[in-house]
Amino acid sequence: MNDVMFKTPVQEIRLSDTADRMFIKRDDLMGFSFGGNKVRIAWEFFQDMKEKGCDCLVAYGSSRSNMCRALSNLCSRYGIPCYVLTPREDLVEEGTFNSWMVKWFGAHIRFCHKSNVAEGVDKLMAELKSKGYRPYYIFGDRYGKGNEKAAARAYCQAYRELLEYEEDHELHFDRIFLASGTGMTQGGLMAGQRQYGGHARITGISVARPSCRGKSEVARFAEVDPEDVDFEDGYVCGGYGLYDGDIESVIRMMMERFGIPLDPTYTGKAFSGMLKYLKARPHEPENILFIHTGGTPLYFDYLNAVWDRKQAAKEITNNRCTGQ
């Protein structure tokens, strides 16, 4: 893999209900493991692991985790043992495309509870060391801190791509929006802006976290004061992985009109939130960039859920008709 595969296109789309020019950075089209922000970040973790002389990778994430998919795919490609610590509370009974792929790539799955992640990390790291491995935990210490620079580096570099696009196309983005969860992607973009310049307002649309926690996490990766972070938590729709009819309408519209897949956990929720955010704030027409952070397997999870709902509704209707 080289730098060329990480350069993704910027696509302009025309939305009839806004005067803004709308652009999308298509990181979902990256050339490895369905692309997305987690492929960029996973690659930086992988490089950091090699630089530190480690020979076994340890990740943490839910059954929906794009990060765990990307990391386990990298490990399968390069022959590195991969272990994934997963919280039991986030297990999806019927499985997800990401969870299936993590197993398919040969990752070893271990479980813990959200209340004792640190203990789970300690136990797994000790076990691997006893087997002679030099394990690398992607998030740093047992509390998930200490490795912020490696994670932020991915979108610090991606920010340079945006500046190159602006220069090549003689335009400037006024605002940059993205789904913001762990804070790694937004923090990396802010670190890039601090390093390379630019004036676009970088706004994270929260997929779950309240503003105070979200700002704090983004600031940790960006190395800025939390008050300098623009993090909107008004569109979380009840929490992580939850969505409503508005989000579903945006997902359908984007696929039908532009052939762009969005998922309800991250990109669909963020794109819907961005449109509401802009509509609620009168402004002169601007150049708006949305970072499509990928998560395509989650789009297919969503289609399965839609199909299941339709089948369930059909069965209820049939039962009523037959008097059952």
User: Which residues does the annotation mark as catalytic?
Assistant: 65
**Residue whose token pair is 């797994």:** 124
The tokens of 39 are what?
Answer: 């492929």
CB neighbour class for 21 (10 Å; exposed up to 12, middle 13-18, buried from 19): middle
Query: What is the C-alpha separation between 222 and 180, in angstroms, rounded?
Result: 13
CA distance 98 to 95: 8
* Bridge partners, residue 176, by sequence: 202, 289
Residue of 175, 196, 181 whose CA lies nearest to 294: 181
8 A C-beta contact, residue 137 and residue 58: yes
Residue type at 115 in one-letter notation: S
213: tokens are 């926690």
Residue 216: count of CB within 10 angstroms of its CB: 14
**CB under 8 Å to 323, separation ≥6 — which residues?**
none
Is residue 50 within 8 A of residue 205, CB to CB? The reply is no
